[in-house]
């Protein structure tokens, strides 16, 4: 029930499903009260939950929904209401959001193709501004699920965050470290429930890499745009490398830092575009700062014309999004091992090792999700990798010993 005690089926008419992913199903709906359109997300329900767990889930859901309704930023979808129902012995949770015209970036990539560096830079600047807002709140929010399918592009060229992964709070254990990961976009620390602000920067780097190259980022591999586009600006290439570094300490300090570097990149693309030094001189966002972003956005995004196209919503990497409830057993064990070894510095993989290590990890996740892998084959794949680095006692060597039970 909503705060008013009314049923969601009384207030809204469900029209058609728009998308389905690891967090739930999204429906286009009609608001019966004003005949306007909206979007309703039905969150994935808890399986075999006890009465105590359901009560705790409801409490956390209400707390999170109340927080989301307070968000006020042009780059964030408006949250309108929340509902929960009890049917067939199961609790169902719903979130009502405003309807945003346009397409998500995943759909644009799959139907229109990759973005120009100019458009990618403009999209990155807008995303940074939203992350700055979220990270700077009195109760800071780490987004944790940044990827093209969660970002809408309107006909006006506005990028809007449309999904806040509210299912992350539906945990029975108050003290548990919630793990929500999407293969290719989530950083290493997120696999063992230790996300921080710079985790969002990793996901942003992976997203910008996907936009500019048209190639989906691979799990736990530092993204390098120049491997796909040899003549790309070195400054952009270096920024994406840093943002997708395995250690948070090797990434840029903040979303504001990334935004300023994107300003410089935009200036390289457009040498006549002037940026006053005052825009970089303060630790806080200044009027000059805001003016620069507005001026850049006024030049328009060419990709925004695709918002008028009639395309079915493309399926993104949601099928590779896992929480504690549905994480494959092999991935769960890997995450738990990372957590035990978290006191060891996560290695920065060099050019000789990053492909084999990350490839084996990616193959392991894919094999597990497709139910085609056995534990012995996983161990064999890992052994081929770790034997090459036997003399180097990194976290990877320790991880292999853990798989062998040593």
Residue-wise pLDDT for 294-342, tens only, equals 899 988 899 999 888 777 666 665 556 666 666 666 656 655 655 565 4
Q: Are residues 140 and 265 in the same domain?
A: yes
pLDDT tens figures, 65-84: 777 788 899 999 988 888 88
Boundary-marking domain end, from 32, 67, 98 = 98
pLDDT tens figures, 227-286: 999 999 999 999 999 999 999 999 999 999 999 999 999 999 999 998 888 778 766 667
Q: Are residues 186 and 259 in the same domain?
A: yes
Per-residue pLDDT at 13? 92
Is 117 a domain residue?
Answer: yes
Domain membership of residue 217 as a residue range: 103-308
CATH value at residue 231: 1.10.510.10
Better-predicted residue by pLDDT, 292 or 372? 292
Total domain count for the chain? 3
Per-residue pLDDT at 62? 77
Please give the average per-residue pLDDT across 132-143, as a whole number: 89
Q: Are residues 121 and 84 in the same domain?
A: no
Q: With residue 56 as reference, give the H or E element that holds it.
A: helix 51-69
Better-predicted residue by pLDDT, 50 or 8? 8
Please give the average per-residue pLDDT across 171-180, as a whole number: 49
Boundary-marking domain end, from 308, 340, 356 = 308
Q: Are residues 254 and 333 in the same domain?
A: no
Is 317 a domain residue?
Answer: no
Q: Are residues 136 and 219 in the same domain?
A: yes
Better-predicted residue by pLDDT, 361 or 130? 130
Q: Are residues 138 and 29 in the same domain?
A: no
Long-range CB pairs of 344-353 (<8 Å, 24+ gap) are 344/394, 344/395, 344/398, 345/247, 345/395, 346/188, 346/189, 346/246, 346/247, 346/395, 347/246, 347/394, 347/395, 347/396, 348/222, 348/245, 348/246, 348/247, 348/250, 349/221, 349/222, 349/246, 353/388, 353/389
Is 319 a domain residue?
Answer: no
Per-residue pLDDT at 382? 38
Percent of the chain with pLDDT over 70: 67
β-pair partners for 87: 90
Catalytic residues: 145
Boundary-marking domain end, from 98, 119, 146 = 98
């Amino acid at each position: 029930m909503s705060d008013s005690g009314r049923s969601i089926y009384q207030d809204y008419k469900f029209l058609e499903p728009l998308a389905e992913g690891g967090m739930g199903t999204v429906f286009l709906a009609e608001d019966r009260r004003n005949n306007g359109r909206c979007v309703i997300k039905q969150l994935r329900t808890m399986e075999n939950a006890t009465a105590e767990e359901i009560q705790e889930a409801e409490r956390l859901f209400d707390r999170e929904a109340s927080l989301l309704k307070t968000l006020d930023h042009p780059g964030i979808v408006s949250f309108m209401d929340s509902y929960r129902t009890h049917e067939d012995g199961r609790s169902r949770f719903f979130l009502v959001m405003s309807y945003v015209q346009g397409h998500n970036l995943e759909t644009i990539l799959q139907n229109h193709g990759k973005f120009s560096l100019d458009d990618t830079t403009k999209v990155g600047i807008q995303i940074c501004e939203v992350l700055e807002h979220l990270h700077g709140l009195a109760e800071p929010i780490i987004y944790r699920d940044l990827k093209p399918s969660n970002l809408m592009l309107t006909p006006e060229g506005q990028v809007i965050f449309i999904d806040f992964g509210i299912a992350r709070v539906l945990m029975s254990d108050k003290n548990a470290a919630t793990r929500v990961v999407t293969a290719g976009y989530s950083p290493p620390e997120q696999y063992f429930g230790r996300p921080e602000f710079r985790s969002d920067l990793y996901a942003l780097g992976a997203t910008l890499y996907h936009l500019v190259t048209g190639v989906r980022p691979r799990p736990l591999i530092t993204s390098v745009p120049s491997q796909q586009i040899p003549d790309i600006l070195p400054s952009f290439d270096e920024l994406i490398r840093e943002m997708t570094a395995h250690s948070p300490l090797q990434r840029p300090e903040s979303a504001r830092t990334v935004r300023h570097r994107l300003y410089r990149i935009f200036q390289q693309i457009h040498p006549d575009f002037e940026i006053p030094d005052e825009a970089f001189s303060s630790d806080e966002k200044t009027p000059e700062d805001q003016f620069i972003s507005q001026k850049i956005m006024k030049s328009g995004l060419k990709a925004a014309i695709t918002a008028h196209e009639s395309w079915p919503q493309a399926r993104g990497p949601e099928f590779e999004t896992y929480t504690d409830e549905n994480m494959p057993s092999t991935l769960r064990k890997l995450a738990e091992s990372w957590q035990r070894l978290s006191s060891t510095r996560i290695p920065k993989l060099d050019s000789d090792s990053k492909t084999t290590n990350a490839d084996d990890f990616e193959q392991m996740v894919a094999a597990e999700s497709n139910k085609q892998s056995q534990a012995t084959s996983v161990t064999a794949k890992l052994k081929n990798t770790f034997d090459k680095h036997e003399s180097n006692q990194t976290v990877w060597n320790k991880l292999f010993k853990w798989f062998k039970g040593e």
